[in-house]
């Protein structure tokens, strides 16, 4: 896999160092493949070793450069090791895609136990914060960088998921806007896609007799369009990290077939 040719009259773009979390499957894998296809070096991070390594195999088989990093990004030591490896192997970090996440059980607040709340918030909100905090010193030193988050329609509305997931994704939306303001003067852009229902491996272990899933199911079923693909979500991520989006900062981009417009 080689760097695509530059447009006539322009210099070819140097390969970038890209971290993609949740890269073992779904949107994360599609994003990792898309970045690699344009010549970027990718560190594919996931808690699932086999899936992350398969993503790397797919990239390297096509001639690209990729490494797998395995671990729970809710743990600071794992985050520190991942960032250090990206810097050591690739010389820096140009793009961070905070994509990894899990669903809740669509539970309403009165049905949400401590374990569900804490697990979803730790993986969907705390882990992206920890990784972002760890890469920022490297981007600040370089004077440039792109942060792209995979949010959700649940970060824009109250009727797309349970209490824990909705709170976590609203938290991501706020974090993205804060980062955009805090670091725009240092050459760092921060944006977020808000996917609608997308064909990925993420699962929902809901109880059909519970209040939350029954209500959310009716709301979602009445308003969504078609099911999106992981590749469509990845294309939006790659664009937000590209020079074509150089003046886009703090954007929350719904990729949802118009669901957010309903």
Confirm whether 165 is a catalytic residue.
Answer: yes
At residue 62, the 3 state secondary structure works out as coil
Inter-axis angle of helices 127-142 and 163-183, to 10 degrees?
10
- Using alpha carbons, select from 205, 47, 213 the residue that is nearest to residue 116: 205
DSSP H helices, the chain, are 26-37, 49-61, 76-90, 114-121, 127-142, 163-183, 211-223, 230-240
For the CA atoms of 99, 103, 106, 112, the dihedral, rounded to the nearest 10 degrees, stands at: -110
Residue 193's DSSP bridge partners are 150, 253
Phi, psi of 10, deg, nearest 5:
-120, 155
| Residue with tokens 């970060």, as numbered in its chain | 155
Q: Which of 35, 90, 117, 165 is catalytic?
A: 165
- Report the catalytic residues: 165
């Amino acid at each position: 896999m080689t760097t695509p040719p530059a447009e006539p009259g322009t210099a070819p773009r140097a390969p970038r160092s890209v971290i993609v979390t949740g890269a073992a499957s779904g949107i994360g894998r599609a994003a990792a493949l898309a970045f690699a296809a344009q010549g970027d070096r990718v560190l594919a991070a996931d808690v699932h070793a086999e899936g992350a390594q398969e993503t790397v195999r797919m990239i390297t088989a096509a001639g690209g450069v990729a490494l797998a990093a395995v671990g729970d990004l809710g743990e600071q030591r794992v985050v520190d090791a991942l960032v250090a490896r990206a810097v050591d192997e690739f010389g820096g970090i140009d793009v961070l895609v905070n994509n990894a996440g899990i669903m809740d059980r669509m539970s309403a607040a009165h049905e949400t136990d401590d374990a569900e709340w804490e697990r979803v918030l730790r993986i969907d909100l705390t882990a992206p914060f920890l990784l972002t905090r760890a890469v920022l010193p490297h981007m600040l030193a370089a004077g440039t960088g792109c942060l792209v988050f995979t949010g959700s329609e649940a970060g824009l509305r109250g009727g797309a998921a349970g209490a824990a997931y909705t709170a976590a994704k609203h938290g991501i939306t706020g974090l993205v806007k804060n980062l955009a303001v805090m670091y725009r003067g240092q050459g760092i852009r921060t944006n977020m896609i808000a996917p609608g229902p997308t064909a990925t491996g993420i699962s929902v272990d809901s109880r059909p007799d519970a209040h939350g899933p029954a209500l959310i199911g009716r709301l979602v079923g009445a308003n969504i369009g078609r099911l999106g693909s992981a590749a469509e979500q990845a294309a939006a991520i790659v664009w937000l990290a590209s020079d074509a989006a150089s003046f886009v900062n703090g954007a929350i981009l719904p990729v949802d077939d118009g669901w957010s417009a309903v």
